[in-house]
Amino acid sequence: PQTIYLKDYTPPAWLVDTVDLDVSIEADGTVVSATQTLRRNPAVADQPLVLDGEELETLAVSVDGREHPYLASATSLTLNDLPASCTLRTVVRIQPDNNTRLSGMYRSKDGYFTQCEAQGFRRITWFMDRPDVMSTYTVTLHADRATFPVLLANGNPVASGDEANGRHWATWADPFRKPAYLFALVAGKLDVLRDTFRTASGREVQLAIYVEPGKLDQCPHAMAALKKSMKWDEERFGLECDLDHYMIVAVGDFNMGAMENKGLNIFNTKYVLARPDVATDVDFENIDRVVAHEYFHNWTGNRVTCRDWFQLSLKEGLTVFRDQEFGADLHNRQTARIREVRGLRAAQFPEDAGPMAHPIRPESFVEINNFYTATVYEKGAEVIRMIQTLIGRDAFRAGMDEYFRRHDGQAVTCEDFVAAMAAASGFDFTQFMRWYRQPGTPRIAADGFWDADSASYTLTLSQSNPRASDDAPYLIPVRVALFAADGRLLPGSERLLQLSASSQSFVFENVAEEPVPSLLRDFSAPVYLDFDDTPEQLTVLLAHESDPFNAWEAGQRLATRLILAASTEIAAGRTPVWPASFVDAARQLLQSHAERGAAFVAEALTLPGETTLAELISVVDPDALHAARNSLSRHLAEQLENEFAGLYASLTVSEAYTPSSEHAGRRALRNLCLSYLVEFDGEAVRELAFKQFREADNMTDQFAALAALANINAADCRQRDSALAEFYARWQDEALVVDKWLQVQSTSRRPDTLATVKALTAHPAFDLGNPNKIYALIRAFGANLVRFNAADGSGYAFMAEQILALHDRNPQVASRLARCFDRWKKFDAGRQAHAQAALRRVRDHQGLSRDVLEVVTRALG
Ligand code: B3K
Ligand code: ZN
C-alpha cells in the first residue's frame, strides 16, 4: 500500500463552490445524484479533475448538461478538457445495507446513518474528498415515509413533502462552507427530545436529540450537557453557536465515540444515553465531555478546519483541551487533571514508545484512520495546555481570538494556530514547535543541591528523548515549588521554569533549610521525570503539597517504587515486604477524606495500573507485576481493614442519585473501600458485595459491586455467578449495559478469563457487527495485561483470530484490535515468539485490509 507524506502536500487544482445532493433511498440501493459547481483554482497550474470514490456504481456523468468522457477506476474518476468553470453532475448507486465498515452511508437498526471523517464521503459520491475543499451543501432526501419518517441533513430544513408510493422527501441547506468530512445525513425512525438555547447575542437555537424509539428518558443529561457547553464556550472563549438548528443523533453501531458533522452530530449511543439505573458516574461525566467536545468542534474544527489530515491535532488536540477545561470547570478540577494524566500514561506513553509512535503531527501515513490516536488527541491536548502555561490564560484567550480573526472559514495548519498564539502573546514558539515534529516521550532528569552557606538551592534539569530523530532540546515548561520538611510551602519558591537547554540549572535564593522539591506541578509537561526523591520527601508532598496533582503524584511514585521492587522479589521467588510508612500514609489519606475530598482520596488510593507500570520495566514479567500489585492491595486491605470497613459504612449517599461530583466522589471512595475489602475474599465480604449489587438504586454502585465480585479468583463463588447471571437477565435489552457485562468479564483478573471471553464470543449478546461489543469484549481483553500476555501465547492467538475474523468486515475496528500487540517486544523471549507468530499470521493473510496491514507491519518491523 501507498504511503502518503506531509511534504507532498499540494493545494487542490479545482475548487467546489456548491454541492447539490439528491439522495434517494430505495429497495435495491441508494441513488445519489450530485451536482457540483467547479472552478479551477487560480493559484494552481491547470490539471485534470480527479475525484475520489469507493464502491460506487456509476450511472451517469455529465458536464454543463451534456455527456462528457471520463476515466473511471475503482477509486478515481478523471475528467479532462473541462472549461475553467463548469457544473458536474454524477449519478451513482451505493449499497448502504451491505456497508459493514460503518464508513460512508450505512444501515443500522433504526435507519441509515453516515460517517464521513476522514474519507467516508467518497463512499457516497464522486468528490475531491480532502478537507481543504470547502463548499456549501444543499441536500434532498427521499425515502419511504412509514419506515423512515425522520429525514435529516446538515443545516436548516428548507422544504419537505410527500411523493408517490408512500414516500416523502426533505431538503436541507447548510449555509456554512464545509469540507466533505463534515457532511451527514440520517433517515430513520427515531424519537426526538427538543429544547432551545438563547445565545449571548439573543439568537434562539433549536436543539434536538434523536434516539432509538423508547429511549427519550435517557436523553435529558446529554441535552443539559449541550446547553452547558454552549454557555461555557461563550463565557470562556466568546464563541457563540452560529446555527439555527443543532441536532444530535445517537446510533448503536458506530466505530468511535461521536462525530462533529456541522449542525448534525452523530453519536455513539454510549455518549448520549444515560439514566441513573443504567449509567455510572463515569458515564455521566464522559457524556458531558463528549457532547462538549463535538459542540466545541463547531469552532475548532468546523469554522476553522484542517488543511490536510496531517494537521488532525490542530482540531483534535485543541478540542480535547477545551473539553478537558469544560469538564474541570463543571466537575472537579483536581481529579479531572489526575484522570487525564492517568489516561495519558496508560495509553499515550506506551503508544509513544511503541511501533506506532508518531509526532502529534505525523509526517506520513498509510491509512489516516490509524492516526486518530492518543498521541494526536491526548498528547495534542497537552501541547495546547503547555502553550497556555507558557503564555498565561489571558494571552491564550487573545491567541484564540486572533486565530479566529485570521482563519475563520479557512483550512489551515498547526503552524497557523501557533502563529496566532505568538502574535497575541509576543512569545517565541520557534523551539516549542519541536513538540509537533518529534515522536517519543521526553525524559527530564532532575538533581537538586542545597547549599547551607549561601542558603540557596540549585535545581539542575537535563532532558533527553531517545525516540527523537536528533538530540536538539525541547522547550519544556516545568512548574516547581519547594517545601520545608514539615510541609510548609517555602515563600517565593513557586516558579514556572522554562527548560530550553539539554541541561540547565535554576537557583532558588533564601532557602534556609534543605527543601523538598515538587517538580512538574499540575503535570506541566507530558514527560517522564527521573528524580531520586526519598520516600520521606514523597510522604511530605503526599500529605502537604497544595497542588493536588503533585500530592497525588507523590503517592503514585511511592507506590510505583514499591510495586516494581516487589515484582523483582516475586520473580526471584521471594516474598515482598511492605514498609509501614506507606500504610501510615494511606491511613492518613483515608482519615482526611472530609478535608481533601473523597474523590481525591479515591484517586490517591488507586494504585498505578499494570500497563503504566510495565512501561517502566525493560523486560516485563506480567505475572510477577500482577502479583506484586495485588500483594500491595492485599497488604493495604489487611492493615487498614477497620478504616476501609468504617468508611464503607459511613460514606453512603442517602440523597436521591445525582451524578454531581460531590456524590460521585463519595461513591468512588466507598466503592474503592469495597474493592479493597474484597481482597480478603471471605464469605462475609462476598455477601457484602452481593448485598450492594442487589440493593443498589444506581448503576455506579451496582456495577462496582459486580466488578468486585467478577474479580474474585476463587474457582467457585456463588455470589459472583449469581450476580453475573442476574445482571444479564435484568439488563439484556439495554445494549450499553450488556457491554458493561461483557467488559467486566473480559477485564477480570481470573485465570480462566480467556476461556470466558472465548465462550462469550458465542453468546447471543455478542455481535461482530457492533463495534461497542468488540471493544467491550475483545479490545478490553487485549488491555488485560496479565491475561492477554499469557506465557503460552493463548491470548495472542485468540486476538489474531479475532482480527482476521473482522478485518474485511470492519477494517477500522480490526485495526484497533491489532494495536493490542503494540508492546509485544517488552516481554520475555517465549512470549515474544508467540506474539511474533500471531502477528505474522495476520500479516501474511491474503487480502489483509490496509488499516490492519499498516499496524502489523509496523509492529513486526
Ligand atoms: N472527529 C471525530 C473522529 C473521527 C474518526 C474517524 N476515524 C470525532 C472527534 O474527535 O470528535
Ligand atoms: Zn474531536
Q: In the annotation, is 294 catalytic? A: yes
pTM beyond 0.95, yes or no: yes
Distance from the CA of 289 to the center of ligand 1, in angstroms?
14
Distance from the CA of 301 to the center of ligand 2, in angstroms?
8
Nearest Cα to Cα of residue 788 among 839, 836, 746: 746
Which three-class secondary structure state does DSSP give residue 543? Answer: helix
Q: What is the pLDDT of residue 676?
A: 98
Q: Please, is 191 exposed, middle or buried when counting C-beta atoms within 10 Å of its C-beta (0-12, 13-18, 19+)?
A: middle
Task: Please choose from 129, 248, 256 the residue to mutate so as to test ligand 1's pocket, defined by most ligand atoms within 8 A of CB.
Answer: 256
Distance from the CA of 294 to the center of ligand 1, in angstroms?
9
Instruction: Tell me the ligand closest to 813's alpha carbon.
Output: 1
Residue 301, Ramachandran bin (φ over 0: left; ψ between -120 and 50: alpha; else beta): left
Task: Please choose from 114, 314, 316 the residue to mutate so as to test ligand 1's pocket, defined by most ligand atoms within 8 A of CB.
Answer: 316
Under CATH, domain 305-437 is a member of which superfamily? Neutral Protease Domain 2 (1.10.390.10)
Chain centroid to CA 338: 15
Shortest-distance Cα residue to atom 7 of ligand 1: 369
Q: What is d(CA 211, CA 417) in angstroms, rounded to the nearest whole number? A: 36
> Of 117, 294, 316, 603, which one is the catalytic site residue?
294
Shortest-distance Cα residue to atom 8 of ligand 1: 259
Provide the grid cell at 617. Answer: 520495566
DSSP-derived letter for residue 471 is -
Q: Do residues 478 and 496 make contact, with C-beta atoms less than 8 angstroms apart?
A: yes
Task: Please choose from 251, 260, 261, 302 the residue to mutate so as to test ligand 1's pocket, defined by most ligand atoms within 8 A of CB.
Answer: 260
Provide the grid cell at 175. Answer: 449555509
DSSP-derived letter for residue 271 is G
3-state secondary structure 18-78: EEEEEEEEECCEEEEEEEEEEEECCCCCCCCEEEECCCCEEEEEEECCEECCCEECCCEEE
Beta-bridge mates of residue 251: 268
CATH of segment(s) 443-525 = 2.60.40.1840
Instruction: Tell me the ligand closest to 258's alpha carbon.
Output: 1
Task: Please choose from 114, 116, 117 the residue to mutate so as to test ligand 1's pocket, defined by most ligand atoms within 8 A of CB.
Answer: 117
Q: For residue 855, how many other CB atoms are within 10 A of its CB? A: 29
Q: What is the dihedral of CA 114, 117, 118, 124, to 10 degrees?
A: 30
Element (H, E) at 568: helix 548-571
DSSP-derived letter for residue 679 is G
Question: Residues lining ligand 1, CB < 6 A?
Answer: 117-118, 256, 258-260, 293-294, 297, 316, 369, 372
Place of cell 427530545: 193
Distance from the CA of 429 to the center of ligand 1, in angstroms?
28
The count of residues in the chain is 861
Distance from the CA of 372 to the center of ligand 2, in angstroms?
9
How many separate helices (H) and strands (E) can be counted in the chain?
31, 31
Q: What is d(CA 150, CA 148) in angstroms, rounded to the nearest whole number? A: 6
Q: Do residues 760 and 745 make contact, with C-beta atoms less than 8 angstroms apart?
A: yes
Sheet architecture: strand order including 204-211: 191-198, 204-211, 245-251, 264-268, 258-259
* Type of residue at 784: N
Shortest-distance Cα residue to atom 5 of ligand 1: 117
Instruction: Tell me the ligand closest to 118's alpha carbon.
Output: 1
**Would you list the domain boundaries of the chain?**
1-187, 305-437, 443-525, 732-861
Provide the grid cell at 802. Answer: 479475532
Shortest-distance Cα residue to atom 3 of ligand 1: 259
Which three-class secondary structure state does DSSP give residue 249? Answer: strand
Query: Relative to the CA of 369, which ligand 1 atom is closest?
Result: 7
pLDDT in tens, 260-301: 999 999 999 999 999 999 999 999 999 999 999 999 999 999
Distance from the CA of 286 to the center of ligand 1, in angstroms?
16
Tell me, yes or no, if the two domains 305-437 and 732-861 fold the same way: no
Distance from the CA of 132 to the center of ligand 2, in angstroms?
18
Shortest-distance Cα residue to atom 1 of ligand 1: 259
3-state secondary structure 681-727: CCHHHHHHHHHHHHHCCCHHHHHHHHHHHHCCCCCCCHHHHHHHHHH
Shortest-distance Cα residue to atom 9 of ligand 1: 259
Distance from the CA of 474 to the center of ligand 1, in angstroms?
29
Determine if the peptide bond prior to 222 is cis (ω within 30°). Answer: no
Domain spanning 1-187, CATH class: mainly beta
DSSP-derived letter for residue 304 is B
Under CATH, domain 732-861 is a member of which superfamily? Peptidase M1, alanyl aminopeptidase, C-terminal domain (1.25.50.10)
Query: Relative to the CA of 377, which ligand 1 atom is closest?
Result: 10
Give whole-number Cα distances, 772 to 320, 459, 816, in Å.
Answer: 22, 48, 12
Which portions of the chain are predicted below pLDDT 50? none
Query: Relative to the CA of 297, which ligand 1 atom is closest?
Result: 11
DSSP state letters, 416-454 = HHHHHHHHHH----TGGGHHHH--S--EEEEEEEEETTT
Q: What is d(CA 687, CA 690) in angstroms, rounded to the nearest whole number? A: 5
pLDDT in tens, 653-712: 899 999 999 999 999 999 999 999 999 889 999 999 999 999 999 999 999 999 999 999
State how beta strands 476-483 and 411-412 pair: unpaired
Query: Relative to the CA of 290, which ligand 1 atom is closest?
Result: 11
Q: Do residues 716 and 752 make contact, with C-beta atoms less than 8 angstroms apart?
A: no
Q: Confirm whether the ipTM is greater than 0.90.
A: yes
Query: Relative to the CA of 812, which ligand 1 atom is closest?
Result: 7
Shortest-distance Cα residue to atom 10 of ligand 1: 316
Q: What is d(CA 567, CA 560) in angstroms, rounded to the nearest whole number? A: 10
Q: What is the pLDDT of residue 186?
A: 99
Q: What is the pLDDT of residue 1?
A: 87
Distance from the CA of 234 to the center of ligand 2, in angstroms?
19
Q: What is the pLDDT of residue 336?
A: 97
Q: Which residue blocks in 135-280 are alpha helix, DSSP H? A: 220-237
pLDDT in tens, 412-468: 999 999 999 999 999 999 999 999 999 999 999 999 999 999 999 999 999 999 999
